[in-house]
């Protein structure tokens, strides 16, 4: 039985040794061939590694986010949302359907995009300023 792929990397540069690469917000979300490759790539290229329960659900969200997000933003969290603004000055739902919810928010200090897959345990936060 094949192992479930649960890790992705977010890097500043394109890595050719990956199974799939999705460019979003000026970063590359690297979908490796295996979990062990994700760990090796994160060490080798000094990029962040994130645990994801469902890679396909993450890909769905990223494909939609690519339509909204520009390069001045960066992927700051995937599925480990340690920071999400409690108080926002402005919030607008961009996508709200049976599968996913994506919003644009502005806190006055930073702004960004938050996405959540409703049927899977997947969240992503993309902001224009590091915390």
- Residue 83 binned pLDDT confidence (cut-offs 50, 70, 90): low
Please tell me the distance from the alpha carbon of residue 83 to that of residue 96, in angstroms, as a whole number: 21
Please tell me the distance from the alpha carbon of residue 34 to that of residue 71, in angstroms, as a whole number: 28
- Bridge partners for 97 per DSSP: none
Q: Is residue 43 within 8 Å of 74, Cβ to Cβ?
A: no
Question: Could you read off the pLDDT of 15-34 as tens digits, one per residue?
Answer: 888 999 998 888 889 999 99
Alpha helix (H) residue ranges in the chain: 35-45, 55-65
62 pLDDT above the threshold of 50: yes
131 pLDDT above the threshold of 70: no
């Amino acid at each position: 039985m094949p192992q479930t792929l649960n890790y992705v990397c977010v890097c500043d540069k394109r890595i050719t040794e990956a199974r799939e690469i999705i460019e979003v917000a000026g970063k590359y979300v690297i979908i490796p061939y295996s979990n062990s490759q994700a760990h090796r790539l994160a060490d080798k290229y000094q990029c962040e590694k994130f645990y994801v329960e469902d890679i396909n659900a993450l890909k769905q969200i990223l494909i939609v986010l690519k339509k909204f997000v520009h390069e001045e933003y960066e992927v700051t969290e995937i599925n480990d949302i340690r920071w999400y603004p409690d108080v926002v000055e402005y919030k607008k739902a961009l996508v709200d359907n049976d599968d996913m919810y994506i919003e644009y928010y502005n806190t006055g200090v930073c702004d960004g995009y938050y996405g959540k897959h409703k049927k899977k345990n997947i969240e992503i936060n993309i902001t224009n300023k590091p915390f």
